[in-house]
């Protein structure tokens, strides 16, 4: 078996480690807390994030980044997007010279408005041909239950994407390849913000018409930004765009949709964040995506309104009323 290092022992990092193990890889997970790695190694279960899910013997864990990296041909990054830069500055010296890096993260960095692969390339100095992203409709609890799912692996070097595809193809997980890294990353990051808006509509008691409207217009916003940054517009009709958006906006398993529902029911951002150890990426990325759009002259009203709400400048009911009352215009603008 070939070794894969997975940096991140949360729900998604653990679920994807199962995918990799089922595909025939030896997996070493890096855990931020020593006690998490100890439990994984002794009980073969991540009791903090995926309790009740048995981990095979081909998955082990460590708190030492050098141990995780040693001998690994693939490094998978599955930490919260806003902590990537600081972590990677420490980890990069341990990355083997020929290793390929693959991001599972769906965010845009606050302050720089950089996508995660851009941050990886900047910090490590590794070229885009060895940096990939995996994205799609991948709710971690369903993946961990080995329910059928598909995803997209995007890399500037198509041969690298194909090699990663082979490493991740398990009996229940089907990865496709794509060369549109920009579109795949933007689809994954922006859908979290749209899911917050959908959740707010649901939390306020609105029905499927409102949810479908936000999902559809959110997809239009995502595509506008992507095209402005050079993405292939067809990417947004695939798994990395529409597929991920529908899953995240529709499922009660979605952190971002659930966070939005709680906002719609009157809880504050601080109250909701304090009640869970899970990260809702859209709460952090909404401001950076808004900044990215502004820098490129792209109008994204849903993203702009969610960012204003997270800043405390608007209530959920005000946000939705403001969106509906905007000047009418043709749909394809």
Q: What are the tens digits of pLDDT across the range 19-39?
A: 999 999 999 999 999 999 999
- Domain span at residue 9 reads 3-179
State whether 125 and 225 are in the same domain.
no
What does the alpha-carbon distance between residue 22 and residue 30 come to, in Å, rounded to a whole number?
19
| Residue 333: per-residue pLDDT | 62
Picking from 151, 179, 207, the residue at the C-terminal end of a domain is: 179
Which of the residues are catalytic? 191
Question: What count of other Cβ atoms lies within 10 Å of the Cβ of residue 114?
Answer: 18
State whether 38 and 116 are in the same domain.
yes
Picking from 116, 150, 179, the residue at the C-terminal end of a domain is: 179
Across-strand partners of 7?
Answer: 30, 77
Lowest-confidence segment of 13-22, 206-215, 305-314, 317-326 by average pLDDT: 317-326
160-180 confidence digits (pLDDT tens): 999 999 999 999 999 999 999
Q: pLDDT band at 1, cuts 50/70/90? A: low
**Can you tell me the mean pLDDT for 141-146?**
97
| Residue 120: per-residue pLDDT | 98
Please give the backbone phi and psi of residue 28, each rounded to the nearest 5 degrees, phi first.
-120, 120
Picking from 179, 210, 238, the residue at the C-terminal end of a domain is: 179
State whether 125 and 274 are in the same domain.
no
Please give the backbone phi and psi of residue 149, each rounded to the nearest 5 degrees, phi first.
-155, 160
State whether 156 and 65 are in the same domain.
yes
Q: Is residue 121 part of a domain?
A: yes
Q: Is residue 56 part of a domain?
A: yes
Its pTM stands at: 0.94
**Can you tell me the mean pLDDT for 30-52?**
95
What does the alpha-carbon distance between residue 210 and residue 229 come to, in Å, rounded to a whole number?
29
| Residue 239: per-residue pLDDT | 97
CB 216 within 8 A of CB 324: no
Q: Is residue 225 part of a domain?
A: yes
State whether 152 and 286 are in the same domain.
no
């Amino acid at each position: 078996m070939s070794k894969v290092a997975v940096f991140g022992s949360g729900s998604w990092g653990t679920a994807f480690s199962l995918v990799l193990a089922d595909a025939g890889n030896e997996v070493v997970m890096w855990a931020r807390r020593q006690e998490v790695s100890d439990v994984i190694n002794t009980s073969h279960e991540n009791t903090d994030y995926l309790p009740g899910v048995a981990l095979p013997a081909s998955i082990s864990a460590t708190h030492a980044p050098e141990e995780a990296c040693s001998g690994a041909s693939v490094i998978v990054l599955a930490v919260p997007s806003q902590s990537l830069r600081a972590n990677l500055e420490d980890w990069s010296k341990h990355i083997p010279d020929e290793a390929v890096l693959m991001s599972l993260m769906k965010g845009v960095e606050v302050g720089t408005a950089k996508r995660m692969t851009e941050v990886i390339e900047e910090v490590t100095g590794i070229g885009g041909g060895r940096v990939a992203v995996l994205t799609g409709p991948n709710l971690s609890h369903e993946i961990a239950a080995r329910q059928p799912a598909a995803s997209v692996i995007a890399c500037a070097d198509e041969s690298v994407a194909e090699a990663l595809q082979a490493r991740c193809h398990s009996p229940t997980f089907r990865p496709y390849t794509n060369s549109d890294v920009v579109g795949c990353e933007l689809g994954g990051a922006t859908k979290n913000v749209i899911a917050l808006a959908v959740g707010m509509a649901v939390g306020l008691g609105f029905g499927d018409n409102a949810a479908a409207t936000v999902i559809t217009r959110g997809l239009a916003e995502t595509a506008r930004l992507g095209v402005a940054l050079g993405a292939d517009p067809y990417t947004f009709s695939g798994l990395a765009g529409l597929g991920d958006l529908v899953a995240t906006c529709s499922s009660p398993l979605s952190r971002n949709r659930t966070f939005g529902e709680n906002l719609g029911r009157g809880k504050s951002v601080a109250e909701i964040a304090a009640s869970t150890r899970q990260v809702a990426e859209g709460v952090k990325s909404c401001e950076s995506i808004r900044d990215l759009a502004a820098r490129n002259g792209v109008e994204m009203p849903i993203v702009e309104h969610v960012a204003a709400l997270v800043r405390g400048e608007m209530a959920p009911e005000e946000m939705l009323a403001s969106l509906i009352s905007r000047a009418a215009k043709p749909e394809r603008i």
